[in-house]
Amino acid sequence: MKLLALVLLSVVCFPAKAQPNTTFSHEESSQAVRDLSGMRWRMKMMLPGEGVKKGLHKLPSEDIETLVWNNARVPGDVYTDLWKAGVIDDPYFGRNNVRAQWVQQYEWWYTLQFDVKEKVDNEVVDIVFEGVDYACEVWLNGHYLGKHEGAFSKFSFNVNEYLRIHPWDGQKGRNMLVVKLDTPPQVNAFVAEKKTPWFGDYTRDLTPIGIWRPVKMVRTGKMRFKDVYANNTINKDGSADVDLELTVENTTTLAKEMTFTASLEGKNFKMKEIKVEFNKTVEPGSHKIKKNIHVKDAKLWWPWDLGDQNLYTAKITLKEGDTNHDVNETVFGIREVSSKWNPGFIKDVDVTFPRSTYINGKFHFIRSACWGGPPDIFTGRTSPAEYKELIRLAKEMNMNNIRIFGWHPPEIPEFYQYCDEMGMTVWQDMIPLGTGNIPTEEENLAEIFNEGVKVIKERRNHPSLIMMEGGEEMMFRTRDPQFGRNFLERLGDSLQAYANLPYVPDSPMIDPVAQEAGFKPKEAVHALRYFYDMGKWLHEDWYQTHCDGYPIVPEFAITSVPNVESLKKFIPEKEMWPPGLSWGHHWADLTRLRMQNWDVFGSEMKGSLEEFVNATQDAQGIIFQNGIEHFRRDKPSLSGIALCHFITYCPDMKWGIVDNYQQPKNSYYFVQKAYQPLLVNFEFKKRRWSTKEPFVGNIWVINDYYKEYTDCSIKFEIKNDAGELLSSKNFDVAKIAENSAKSFFPIEEKVLKSVKEKFYVSLELTDKKGKIISKNDYFFLIGDQQAATKKFKEWGEERVKQENIHGTYGSYYHFFKEFTEEGGQKYDSDIQTPRAIGFIEE
C-alpha cells in the first residue's frame, strides 16, 4: 500500500489508501490528507509592507535562514508564540496586555518547510487553510498563491504546478510555504461579520491574530467531493430517509462517467450496513448530486435528557472504472427540529417568532448558558481536550444546551463533535454580529451572507446544532431600524436555504429600535438589568416584577470573582488584597460585587480575600438559582433560559461560572441544583423575614423528562442558624406528570421566633422505592425587607452619581481614590499601590 509522501521534518502524515490509478475496496478507502500543523513553523516580525520589499516571500526552499526565526505553532496565534519565545510577558497577567499592544502594529510572517517524495500525476493537490485570523497572503516556493480575508471560512489553493518533488533527495524535494499575516483590523465595524469582536467586558483592546486552525495538504483524483450533507426526514412508521447531497467537482475539461458507492453504518451502535451504488455522468465544474438512502429502523439522536445520542457514519467513494478519485466520511445524526408558538402569546401582537423548540416532536426545554468562548481568545493556549472537559462540565451542571451568541465565533469541529456525543444541543449565532455595525453597500452585504453560508455548511451535519440566530443585541446599535430588520431576515433566508433549522433574527428585540422595526414587545428578555441597574431592586424583587411574561430568556447575567488559586495566576501578589488596579483591569466591578454580596448575605463580606471571593461566587450562584427556578415555574409559557456566561475567553472577574483555568466557581453547584431536569423547589416572595411573621411559600416540582413519577414523597425541613430543626413535614405526591411544572403544597410555618440571623430550608423528593430523585436547599435572612430595599436604592443612587462623575464600571480608575480629583491624583507606583475604595478603612 502506498504512503503519502514520507516526511523528514516533524510534520504529521496519514496513509493514502485511495490514490488515483490504484484500486481498493470501498471499505478500505480514505482521503489522502497530510496535516501540516505542529511545532515546525517559524515566525518573524516585519513593518507593514516591508516583508515583500525585503523578499521574504521568495525565500529559497532549501534555505536554512528560517531556522533562527522564532518557533511557532499552528494552529495557534501570534501572541502565544511571542509569549512562549519570551518576547512578551503573559498578556493575561496583571496589566501586561497594555504593554503588548505594539504586536498588532506589525505584519507577521510564518513559514514551514516540508518534503514531498511521491509523484502527484493525475492528482489534484491543494493546500487547505481551515481558518486564518484575519487576513493573509500565501506563497509556495516563491509562487504567489493568493490572499484571503475572514477568520471563519476555509480557503484553499491548488499547488500542483508549484510543488517540488523528489523521491530521495531532501533538497530537491523540499518546499517552503510562506504566510504573511496582515496587521489586524482596529475597527470592528469594518469586519464585524468576518472576525470575532476583540473587545467587550472580559478583555482589553488586543486584537487576536494568527493561523488559528489547521493547515493541510489534501490530495485527490481529478474528481472530488467539495461538500457532503446528510439531510434527513423521519417518517411516521419509524423509518427515515437520508438524502445525501453531494457537491462534486470535475476538474477536467471532459464529462466523466462516475460510480458512487455510499454506505451507512452506526458509529456508536451496531446495525447492518446499508450500501447503495449508482452511476452518474459529471460534467466539468461543480455539481450537486442527490441520493436517497432509506433507513427502515431509524435510531434517532436526542439531547441527553430526552434519549440516546445515536450517530451514523456515511462513507461515499467516487470512482472512474477502477480508479478511486476521492472518499468522504461524514458523521451525522437522524433528528428533526421544529419550533412552535409558546402558549399564552399571540402571534404578531406579543411576539413575531415561535420560541419553543421541539426535537423529534418532543418539547426541549432549554437549560443553557452562553458559551463565552472560545476557551481562550489567544487560541494557541487551548486544545480540543479543553473543549471536551468544558462540555463535560456543562453537562454535569445539568445544562442541555450551549448558546454561542453574536459576540463569539463559530466553534471548531471538535466542539460540535463533543456536543453530538454528549447530547448537548447548540443554539448559535452563525457569525459574530454582536455590534450591529454592518455595511450598507450591497456587495459588502453579499460577503456577510456568503460567510454565513460557509459557516452553516461546515456545521450542518452535526445533530447538536438545533437553532440559528442572526445577531446579538444588533438592533440596539442599528441606525436604520428597517434596514437592520431587512438585513437580518435576508441573512435568515440565506442560512435556511442550506439547513432546515429554526431561525431567530436577533436577541432580545425588545429595545426601542427593534420596536420601531416592527418587532413585538414580548419577543425575549435579557435578564441583565439587575446587574447594570444595581440598587434599583433586591434580586428577588427584580425578577418577579421585571422579567415575567416573556417566552424565553436569552441572557441572565450575574458576576463573580475566580477562586484564590486562579487569581494568583493573573493578579500580581501586591495587588491581591485589598483589590489593586489589576482587579479593575480584569473587569471587577468592585462596587457591584460588594452590593450583590450585601443583597444576598446582608453583608459585603470583606473580612478577607477568601471570604470576599467565596461570597461573590455564592451570591452569583444564589441569584442564578432563585432566578432559574422562578423562570422554570413558568414552563411551558417560558421555553428556555441561557445564563451569561458559562465561560469567558480570558481571565476576568465577570460573568463566567467556570473560570479561565477550568475551575468551577461555587456558583456552578447552585446552578447544578437549579438545572436538575427533575427539580423539587420552593417558591417564595422575599428573602428577609421578621421573627414575628409566618414563613410562607409553595412547594413545586418541575419535570423536564418525558417520564411520569407516581407515589412519591416530599420531605420539607426548616432549621435555624444553630442547625436546630424547627419544622419537618412529609407530603405524599400521587403523580408527577411528564414534561410538567406544578405547584403542589402551600407552606405557612410560624417557627422563626428563635432565629437570630439566618434560617435554612431543605427539600427531598423520593420515589416510590424511597430513592432520593431530587434535592434542594435555600437560606433566608432575618431582617426588614422594606428597610433593605430602601438602603439598597440609596446605595444604587450613590453608585450612579459616582459613575456619572468618573465613568462607568469599565473606567475602573474611580475605584481608587489616588486617581480621582478628590484623591489629588498623587499615585506613584514606586511608593504605593492603590487600594480599592470601600475595602480599607478611610
What is the edge-to-edge ordering of all strands in the sheet holding 32-35? 32-35, 215-220, 124-129, 155-158
- According to DSSP, the residues that pair with 9 across neighbouring strands are none
Nearest-angstrom CA–CA distance, 223 and 325: 6
Could you identify the residue written with the cell 470601600?
838
Nearest-angstrom CA–CA distance, 292 and 494: 24
**In this predicted structure, what is the pLDDT of residue 841?**
60
Nearest-angstrom CA–CA distance, 587 and 812: 8
State phi, psi for 257 to the nearest 5 degrees. Answer: -85, 115
CA dihedral of residues 413, 417, 423, 426 (deg, nearest 10): 10
Contact, 431 vs 455, CB < 8 A? yes
**In this predicted structure, what is the pLDDT of residue 199?**
81
Q: Given the DSSP bridges, would you call strands 135-140 and 143-149 parallel, antiparallel or unpaired? A: antiparallel
**In this predicted structure, what is the pLDDT of residue 833?**
67
Cα 35–141–227 angle (5° rounding)?
Answer: 40
Which residues of the chain, if any, have pLDDT below 50? 1-26, 830-831, 842
Q: What's the DSSP call for residue 435?
A: S
Could you identify the residue written with the cell 416584577?
545
> How many residues are there in the chain?
842
Contact, 179 vs 132, CB < 8 A? yes
Output the DSSP codes for 606-651. -SSHHHHHHHHHHHHHHHHHHHHHHHHTTTTTS-EEEEE-S--SS-
**In this predicted structure, what is the pLDDT of residue 502?**
97
**In this predicted structure, what is the pLDDT of residue 182?**
97
**In this predicted structure, what is the pLDDT of residue 56?**
97
What 3-state DSSP class applies to 563? coil
- Per-residue pLDDT reduced to its tens digit, 113-166: 999 998 888 899 999 999 999 999 999 999 999 999 999 999 999 999 999 999
**In this predicted structure, what is the pLDDT of residue 11?**
32
- Distances, alpha carbon 590 to alpha carbons 22, 542, 656, 828, in Å: 68, 21, 16, 22
Q: Give residue 838's region: left, alpha or beta (phi > 0; psi -120 to 50).
A: left
113: Cα within 13 Å, side-chain hemisphere? 19
Nearest to 117 by CA among 7, 2, 1: 7
Q: Give residue 605's region: left, alpha or beta (phi > 0; psi -120 to 50).
A: left
pTM of the model: 0.94
What 3-state DSSP class applies to 779? strand
> What angle in degrees, to the nearest 10, is found between the helix axes of 590-601 and 609-632?
70
Give the domains, in start order, of the chain with CATH numbers. 26-220 (2.60.120.260), 223-332 (2.60.40.10), 337-570+617-675 (3.20.20.80), 680-785 (2.60.40.10)
**In this predicted structure, what is the pLDDT of residue 706?**
97
**In this predicted structure, what is the pLDDT of residue 821?**
61
Nearest-angstrom CA–CA distance, 839 and 578: 6
The dihedral built from the CA positions of residue 354, 358, 361 and 367, taken in this order, carries a sign that is negative
What 3-state DSSP class applies to 32? strand
Nearest-angstrom CA–CA distance, 426 and 301: 14
CB atoms inside a 10 Å sphere around CB 480 = 13
Could you identify the residue written with the cell 431576515?
489
